[in-house]
Amino acid sequence: MSHTRTATTIFNVDFLRGIAALAVLVWHYQHFFYPSAGDSLAVADRPLQPFYPSLRWLYDYGANGVQFFWVLSGFVFFHAYRSRENISFKKFFINRFSRLYPLHFITLLLIALLQIFSQYAVGHQQIYPFNDFYHFILNIFLASHWGFQKGYSFNAPSGRYR
């Protein structure tokens, strides 16, 4: 396979990953219309969301973009690591953890601060209702969806789709 063809293939895959990420972004946007933490919109209220007629498909099915993104990312990982025949599990784990955990931790801290601010400013937290110390510890150890949780907390997608 030529280098140009490979670069074009990866560009196309990255373009599709961008489309999948956009779908997930639009789907998550509806969380900002929840009346309070844990209370989702009724199906009848969905048309109240911005640009709903044009973005209906993304509002209704955008969450499927996560699985599509994973499939495409698996292809990219395979392509990146196939040229490294002797990469150990330990090296792979360290590389992945060092890329993912700092973003997870920073996002967790940011969401925790925003939830505190929301409680103070509007009298309730946003989107997910279980934002206490117990769930914070679960999130720190990437265990927010291992069966110990009482429900969604903090940045739930980071644990739900990991």
Whether pTM > 0.85 for this model: the answer is: no
CB 74: neighbour CB atoms within 10 A?
10
Q: What is the pLDDT of residue 85?
A: 67
Number of DSSP helices (H) and strands (E) in the chain, helices first: 6, 0
How far is it, in rounded angstroms, from Cα 118 to Cα 107?
A: 16
Output the CA torsion sign for 62, 64, 70, 73: negative
Can you give the pLDDT of all 162 residues of the chain as single tens digits?
Answer: 455 555 566 778 888 988 888 888 888 777 777 766 666 666 667 777 888 889 888 888 888 888 888 888 888 777 777 666 677 888 888 888 898 899 889 999 999 999 999 889 888 888 888 899 999 999 999 888 888 888 888 877 766 544
| Length of the chain in terms of residues written | 162
Instruction: Please check whether residue 10 is in contact with residue 79, taking contact to mean a CB–CB distance below 8 angstroms.
Output: yes
Listed in sequence order, the residues at least 6 apart from 92 whose beta carbon sits closer than 8 Å to its beta carbon are 81
Q: Which residues of 112-129 are buried (b: 16+ CB within 10 A; e: fewer)?
A: bebbeebeeeeeebbbbb
Instruction: Please check whether residue 147 is in contact with residue 119, taking contact to mean a CB–CB distance below 8 angstroms.
Output: no
State phi, psi for 117 to the nearest 5 degrees: -60, -45
List, as one string, the DSSP characters of 21-63.
Answer: HHHHHHHHHGGGG-SBTTBPPPGGGGGGSTTHHHHHHHHHHGG
Q: What is the pLDDT of residue 84?
A: 66
Q: What is the pLDDT of residue 162?
A: 46
